[in-house]
């Protein structure tokens, strides 16, 4: 159950976005919003979160809850502010000229191919991350065990 709580915590943080950070960055330019939509908008964000969930779902303790978490994610996305926050982020990160250049590229056939392939790219990266984490799980468990034993010594 601890693993499930950790998965929910990670997904919750991701689904919550970075509202406080982004809200401080100022107004949204029309190009920032257009970039968000051109890249796939909320659909791409949901697919990214589902890719993270697919890694967690490999854990037998989490797998039975994967459908519940997936439904929760979809419901959470419908009430999120991803579009506003990401549009402000793009507007703060790129100049208007850079946003126009990016959008011009994304509207080319190659740019459209990139946009269409982004969900697969994200899923592939998530799969590779899952394999890497599984291959190195023993190292992580060892480091966590050492940390717990070190913490136990400092409390005494």
Residues 88-141: pLDDT tens digits?
A: 999 999 999 999 999 999 999 999 999 999 888 888 888 888 788 778 878 877
Rounded to an integer, what distance in angstroms lies between the CA atom of residue 77 and that of residue 42? 7
- pLDDT of 20 reads 44
In contact, 35 and 91? CB cutoff 8 Å = no
Residues 6+ apart with CB under 8 A from 86: 17, 22, 32, 36, 45
Count: domains in the chain: 1
Domain that holds residue 137: 2-155
Helices 41-56, 2-16: inter-axial angle, 10-degree rounding: 160
In this predicted structure, what is the pLDDT of residue 33? 92
Measured between alpha carbons, how far is 8 from 68 in angstroms, rounded to an integer?
11
């Amino acid at each position: 159950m601890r693993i499930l709580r950790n998965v929910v915590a990670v997904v919750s943080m991701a689904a919550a976005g970075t509202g406080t950070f982004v809200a401080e960055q100022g107004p949204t330019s029309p190009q920032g919003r257009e970039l968000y939509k051109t890249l796939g908008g909320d659909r791409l964000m949901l697919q990214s979160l589902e890719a993270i969930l697919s890694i967690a779902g490999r854990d037998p303790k989490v797998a039975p809850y994967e459908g519940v978490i997936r439904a929760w994610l979809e419901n959470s996305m419908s009430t999120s502010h991803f579009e506003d926050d990401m549009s402000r982020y793009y507007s703060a990160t790129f100049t208007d000229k850079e946003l126009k250049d990016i959008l011009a590229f994304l509207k080319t056939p190659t740019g459209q191919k990139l946009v269409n392939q982004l969900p697969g790219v994200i899923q592939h990266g998530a799969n590779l991350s899952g394999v890497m984490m599984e291959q190195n799980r023993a190292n992580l468990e060892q480091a966590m065990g050492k940390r717990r034993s070190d913490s136990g010594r400092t409390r005494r």
